Structure 1
């Protein structure tokens, strides 16, 4: 660009990434002028309307509230939003929004009630409700839908992880001598590189760790330390990847393995080595099972072989059987074989269905699930969307200045499954079951509620640590 071009180039002022008034769907901005006039209170709720799983794990709202909803809105933010949305083509409620900094000191006048994080509840159970506390600003309940509804992502990842945990748990209880000790480390998060953003890695990685304690997605560990008071939420182990093996060349494959074993193998420790860079069966039979067999045994390390490429159930089955023939097995108290010195982790093509297939394959051959762990990447953190559990956020009631109450709902005849609830909603537990209450007034004390007021007027009121969240999720098993 020449100097003249630089002089003529427009000056573009960046928009603040911390201005939460900009974090909304564009069409929401003009809704302040569209609601039925005279309303002083709105309430909305969020639920899973059903989907892949029949039960849903509540998780992730605390992060959203602390990271974003405790932001103090300034007059500068309001004017920035008004100018930006005006240029964008939508009408911004400037006068109303100025009440936030001028009347409320920048604190958002909203109240949020929610089920405790870690709760495992049936679909179609309200997970949270949102109500305005300033009668002049009922539209804020809808304005922040996009920001709040993003809780669908940690909810869905935690839900999928929880359901897979039940599959693994059942298999361990059948075949392992130590199911409780092994279970937390059986599904390892490999998903960081496969998600859409650093924040997605943090949120999704944290959601998985509600159920398990193994992860390579360190962003999730960091998030849980910062927002859920977890000093160290997960562990990992030294592990090879294809580049660390192939950097030695095909002829140097045995040297690559020997070097990793000598550099990182420790007595009583674990070392994972991917072994399919060239010929998996040769690596199992002739390298690990012959040339390096005694070195593995003498090291005192438990070597974890990663088969990777190929049909997951077939590859794991072959790997387990070849390793059994080379290293031998021990029969546990339940009559299943446990490999000596070695284990297996499958990190390619892992999902709920392939895990079931792998379990069935090795059990057929008489092996305990003690021998096998799973690494799950994109299918864990990225192959989900809001429709996986059909998470929805809907307005359910209005109160008008003259005292009139109106239940609000949608009921499309073309899709009865999208019928939403009306009323001021709450959840109670009766005979061990979650039951939804639909009140016809905003003046209720919510007797016996399972929900808690977690946020009011810009402040997070209740914070759970990860240990508490994990305990609730475990109780749902």
Structure 2
């Protein structure tokens, strides 16, 4: 979260728009809309992150760094920064003072419920001013809103994509009591742009799965989505070794048996853990070292996950399952698929794209194994890029950006001092694909058989009834908040 006046957390040009609007406007309405999809198989986008944005920026940041700070200090910083950069020292003092004296943020935000997947081109968020003197505030928050939410929403879609794959194969190969939300996990933190980006991205992924390596994602969800990891399943981490552990012990012991036995019998005798196993010779460890430790593994109060970390993930993890079956055996579940002895599993925590995930599950199913024999980890690549296979077999990489779903905030409606409706819209003739065409006037969002649609061209009064956009924030306070459990159920049709 920012530690300075949020009215300086924007593009430079936003600071001068108040003077540029037509005189006499008393109301402005803007909509946040995913305008397109660059993913051929995705025509809906999950709304997630708005509640956190409101909490961290519109409430906490504005209270801590604007309203609760002496106005002289606010003005001094504001004029110093702008005066030294775009030569607008002093511009905006009157409106800043009016807002500071008001003591709250005079905005109303309406939105579809968090966790809802709306169709492309359907507005997800509506922003309007509640005080006639603060038309300029509506689009002032656009920059913060856009850059805070787009990656969070993309990561929610990434998690949803993987969950659909898991559901498909688990339905066919796993007993019904297998917790599908535990079959994949987020391993992305170290590869993301920042701690903040990694935290929000992992939290969004946790709408579909319970496993994460990103500790602050849990704290972020607790802070913003009314949950408590000590009382409910927010997300879970895992005990695991890393190469520094494996290599330093090998340097001391001269073998791998000693360390693995110590992990099983001394360090984690009553806990499950994952062990990176390819520091030297992965298949030697699987085929020769593990059999030496068979009794220790079978007597262990938990399971050990054998983790590959190099080579082709598809062949490594599927072959590992087959060889662990040969060594430790297992059972056949109610759907006729093999399940490894509960003391062993296979895990691969890197390079698991949606395509590789499907390939792994398909091979396991083909060879008679349930998919809950493996745990897969989704890294930063998949949180930030989608790999696609072209018709000629070549691979294309599509990095996720704000433009993946063409997310934008556009003003579409205003009123003058007499309350006269003013319909605003943009429709560039040079935009031949009509990608940048905006809504016109106020919008009413409605449910349809295919999800959601909208009607535009309405006045503010006409758009109030039977609208799926519901008020969540008004005049500096929440009017509606969602729990993590509610968001998950909204996304997954009532179940998680």
In the superposition, the TM-score normalised over structure 2's length comes to: 0.87
Task: Find the residue that maps to 1:219 and give its secondary structure.
Answer: helix
Task: Quickly say closer, same or farther: Cα 1:115–1:58, change in 2 above 3 A.
Answer: same
Q: Which residue of 2 aligns with 1:400?
A: 416
Q: Establish whether residue 24 from structure 1 lines up as the match of residue 22 from structure 2.
A: no
Instruction: Report if aligned partners of 1:133, 1:457 keep a CA contact under 8 Å in 2.
Output: yes
Q: Which residue of 2 aligns with 1:44?
A: 30
Q: Which residue of 1 aligns with 2:397?
A: none
Instruction: Report if aligned partners of 1:45, 1:130 keep a CA contact under 8 Å in 2.
Output: yes
Q: Establish whether residue 225 from structure 1 lines up as the match of residue 236 from structure 2.
A: no
Task: Quickly say closer, same or farther: Cα 1:129–1:160, change in 2 above 3 A.
Answer: same
Q: Which residue of 2 aligns with 1:367?
A: 369
The equivalent position to 1:452 in structure 2, one of 470, 477, 483, is 470
- Tell me, in whole angstroms, the C-alpha distance in 2 between the residues paired with 1:108 and 1:147: 15
- Taking only aligned residues, the RMSD between alpha carbons, in angstroms, comes to 2.0
- Tell me, in whole angstroms, the C-alpha distance in 2 between the residues paired with 1:237 and 1:262: 18
User: Which shifted more, 141-150 or 411-420?
Assistant: 411-420
Task: Quickly say closer, same or farther: Cα 1:409–1:83, change in 2 above 3 A.
Answer: same
Task: Find the residue that maps to 2:405 and give its secondary structure.
Answer: coil
Q: Which residue of 2 aligns with 1:423?
A: 441
Deviation at 1:282, TM superposition (A): 0.7
Deviation at 1:131, TM superposition (A): 0.8
Task: Find the residue that maps to 1:349 and give its secondary structure.
Answer: coil
- Tell me, in whole angstroms, the C-alpha distance in 1 between the residues paired with 2:483 and 2:356: 33
Instruction: Report if aligned partners of 1:79, 1:94 keep a CA contact under 8 Å in 2.
Output: no
Instruction: Report if aligned partners of 1:194, 1:382 keep a CA contact under 8 Å in 2.
Output: no
- Tell me, in whole angstroms, the C-alpha distance in 2 between the residues paired with 1:249 and 1:442: 70
Structure 1's consecutive aligned runs of 4 or more residues displaced over 3 angstroms after TM superposition are: 263-267, 380-384, 430-433
The equivalent position to 2:268 in structure 1, one of 246, 252, 265, is 265
1:126-150 Cα shifts (integer Å, max 9, x gaps): 1101111222221211111111112
Instruction: Report if aligned partners of 2:218, 2:235 keep a CA contact under 8 Å in 1.
Output: yes
Deviation at 1:295, TM superposition (A): 0.9
Task: Quickly say closer, same or farther: Cα 1:387–1:413, change in 2 above 3 A.
Answer: closer
Q: Which residue of 2 aligns with 1:253?
A: 256
- Tell me, in whole angstroms, the C-alpha distance in 1 between the residues paired with 2:188 and 2:221: 17
Instruction: Report if aligned partners of 2:118, 2:452 keep a CA contact under 8 Å in 1.
Output: yes
- Tell me, in whole angstroms, the C-alpha distance in 1 between the residues paired with 2:93 and 2:426: 28
Q: Which residue of 2 aligns with 1:409?
A: 426
Q: Which residue of 1 aligns with 2:285?
A: 283
Task: Find the residue that maps to 1:136 and give its secondary structure.
Answer: helix
Q: Establish whether residue 66 from structure 1 lines up as the match of residue 69 from structure 2.
A: no
Instruction: Report if aligned partners of 1:244, 1:256 keep a CA contact under 8 Å in 2.
Output: no
Task: Quickly say closer, same or farther: Cα 1:404–1:79, change in 2 above 3 A.
Answer: farther
Task: Find the residue that maps to 2:133 and give its secondary structure.
Answer: coil
Instruction: Report if aligned partners of 1:121, 1:434 keep a CA contact under 8 Å in 2.
Output: yes
Deviation at 1:382, TM superposition (A): 4.3
The answer for unaligned runs of 5 or more in structure 1 is: 1-15
1:193-242 Cα shifts (integer Å, max 9, x gaps): 22222222321222111111111211010111122121111112211111
Deviation at 1:265, TM superposition (A): 3.5
The equivalent position to 2:344 in structure 1, one of 332, 342, 345, is 342
Q: Which residue of 2 aligns with 1:177?
A: 175
The equivalent position to 1:127 in structure 2, one of 113, 124, 128, is 124
Task: Quickly say closer, same or farther: Cα 1:34–1:18, change in 2 above 3 A.
Answer: same
1:12-45 Cα shifts (integer Å, max 9, x gaps): xxxx823111111112111222233332222111
User: Which shifted more, 67-76 or 224-233?
Assistant: 67-76
In the superposition, the TM-score normalised over structure 1's length comes to: 0.91
Task: Find the residue that maps to 2:453 and give its secondary structure.
Answer: strand
Task: Find the residue that maps to 1:39 and give its secondary structure.
Answer: coil
Map 1:42-191 onto structure 2 (within 5 A): 42-49=28-35, 50-52=37-39, 53-70=42-59, 71-72=62-63, 73-74=66-67, 75=71, 76-89=73-86, 91=88, 92-102=91-101, 104-105=102-103, 107-149=104-146, 150-178=148-176, 181-191=178-188
Task: Quickly say closer, same or farther: Cα 1:79–1:400, change in 2 above 3 A.
Answer: farther
Query: What is the total number of aligned residue pairs between the two structures?
Result: 457
Map 1:184-199 onto structure 2 (within 5 A): 184-199=181-196
Q: Which residue of 2 aligns with 1:313?
A: 314
The answer for unaligned runs of 5 or more in structure 2 is: 386-399
1:331-375 Cα shifts (integer Å, max 9, x gaps): 222121111131111111012121112112222222110101111
